[in-house]
């Protein structure tokens, strides 16, 4: 059996930063994201009794042992659940700009979860799919859904209550996201390692956990009320707090570059002049700027004047999993 699924990337407005269980990918805090229309992964999974082991092709090239091992470990988790015994050929294509630093693990594991389950001939709820995708990469559990999505951390030790839920669908609130590329260099500290080090060593981590709980409540209220200012202030402050924890880690690290700071300062200066927009930053130097549709073009014009800006990708809010033919 064969299935092809498309899943879109997401960006967190309230960040996932830290695990309480690394094997099950259980987070220490709940997070909230929007799914993007622009960047996605398409994955085909074909279970074939002629194959003696799983094979993985990424962007039309056969992946190395290390990458294939990660995919195989994930397929094993799904096989345990569905009873599938055959090996699979997995073909994934990332429609994320090459080496842009925009993460594709969320869309990658969401698409893989959807295609593997479908190809096994099993029907699961979106909630169950979210729990499976989570075990490939935490943020992937949010990419099962479109629109505004909350990943509820849960408290159970087996992960049964840690999954994403949709807060608003794709069309409910038209906000725009500018993905601002300032660097295409590979990051020095991968997010998985970065969050682990922060949890273990940063004296600011307990403060982060407390504050982010409050931020989540505020962000959900802002979304329910469609209050852009409240949401923007909350998401910007939450991103800054996440990055503050990395400065306290041992050894300390920082995802920002000078170009990152220039974009951040410019967004704040434009806001002071009445162009309302807010930034967020993930585990890398690139910046995402959130705004309303009516200021999008003006903001693009202003930000593209900066020498440090290599590329701007305008995005809208995107859909959840799409099942494709073939
Ligand atoms: C997020 N990040 O909420 C946060 C903000 C990075 C900064 O989710 O170890 O690739 O695979 O669960 O999902 C990146 O972490 O980490 C991430 P794993 P993942 O989007």
Q: Where are the domains of the chain?
A: 2-172, 176-316
Residues framing ligand 1 (Cβ under 6 A): 12, 15-17, 25, 31, 103, 105, 137-139, 191-192, 282-283
Q: Ligand 1 mean position to 12 CA, how many Å?
A: 9
Which atom belonging to ligand 1 lies closest to the Cα atom of 103?
Answer: 10
- Tens of pLDDT, residue by residue, the chain (326 residues): 899 999 999 999 999 999 999 999 999 999 999 999 999 999 999 999 999 999 999 999 999 999 999 999 999 999 999 999 999 999 999 998 765 667 789 999 999 999 999 999 999 999 999 999 999 999 999 999 999 999 999 999 999 999 999 999 999 999 999 999 999 887 889 999 999 999 999 999 999 999 999 999 999 999 999 999 999 999 999 999 999 999 999 999 999 999 999 999 999 999 999 999 999 999 999 999 999 999 999 999 999 999 999 999 999 999 999 999 76
Per the listing, tokens 């389950």 go with 117
Q: Which atom of ligand 1 is nearest to the CA of 138?
A: 12
Pick the atom of ligand 1 nearest to 134's CA.
12
Q: The tokens 């290390």 sit on which residue? A: 66
**Interval between CA 300 and ligand 1 midpoint (Å):** 27
Q: Give the whole-angstrom CA distance, residue 269 versus residue 176.
A: 19
pTM for this prediction? 0.97
Q: How far is the CA of 93 from the centre of ligand 1 (A)?
A: 20
Q: For the domain 176-316, what is the CATH superfamily, name and number?
A: GHMP kinase, C-terminal domain (3.30.70.890)
**Residue 289 forms beta bridges with which residues?**
178, 279
From atom 4 of ligand 1, which residue's Cα is the shortest distance away?
Answer: 16
For residue 291, which of 299, 281, 303, 283 has the smallest C-alpha distance? 299
Closest to 34 in 3D by CA, of 226, 279, 316: 316
Domain 2-172 has CATH 3.10.20.30: no
């Amino acid at each position: 059996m064969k299935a092809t699924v498309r899943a879109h990337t997401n960006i967190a407005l309230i960040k996932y930063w830290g695990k309480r269980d690394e094997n099950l990918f259980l987070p220490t805090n709940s997070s909230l994201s929007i799914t993007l229309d622009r960047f996605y992964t398409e994955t085909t999974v074909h279970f074939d009794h002629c194959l003696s082991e799983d094979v993985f092709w990424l962007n039309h090239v056969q992946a190395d042992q290390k990458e294939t091992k990660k995919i195989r470990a994930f397929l094993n988790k799904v096989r345990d659940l569905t009873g599938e015994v055959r090996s699979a050929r997995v073909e994934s294509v990332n429609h994320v700009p090459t080496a842009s630093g925009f993460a594709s693990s969320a869309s990658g594991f969401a698409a893989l979860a959807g295609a593997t389950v479908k190809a096994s001939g099993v029907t699961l709820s979106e909630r169950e799919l979210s729990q499976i995708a989570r075990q490939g990469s935490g943020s992937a559990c949010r990419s099962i859904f479109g629109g505004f999505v909350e990943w509820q951390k849960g408290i159970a030790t087996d992960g049964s209550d840690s999954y994403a839920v949709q807060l608003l669908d794709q069309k409910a609130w038209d906000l725009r996201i500018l993905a601002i590329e300032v660097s295409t260099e590979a990051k020095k500290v991968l997010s998985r390692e970065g969050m682990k080090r922060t949890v273990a060593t940063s004296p600011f981590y307990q403060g982060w956990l407390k504050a982010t709980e409050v931020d989540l409540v505020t962000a959900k209220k802002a979304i329910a009320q469609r209050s852009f200012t409240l949401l923007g202030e909350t998401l910007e402050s939450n991103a800054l707090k996440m990055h503050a924890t990395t400065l306290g880690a041992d050894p300390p690290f920082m995802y920002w570059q000078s170009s990152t700071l220039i974009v951040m300062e410019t967004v704040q200066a434009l806001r002071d002049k009445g162009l309302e927009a807010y930034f967020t930053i993930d585990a890398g130097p690139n910046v995402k700027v959130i705004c309303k549709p009516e200021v999008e073009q003006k903001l693009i014009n202003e930000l593209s004047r900066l020498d440090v800006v290599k590329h701007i990708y305008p995005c809208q809010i995107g859909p959840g999993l799409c099942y494709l033919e073939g």
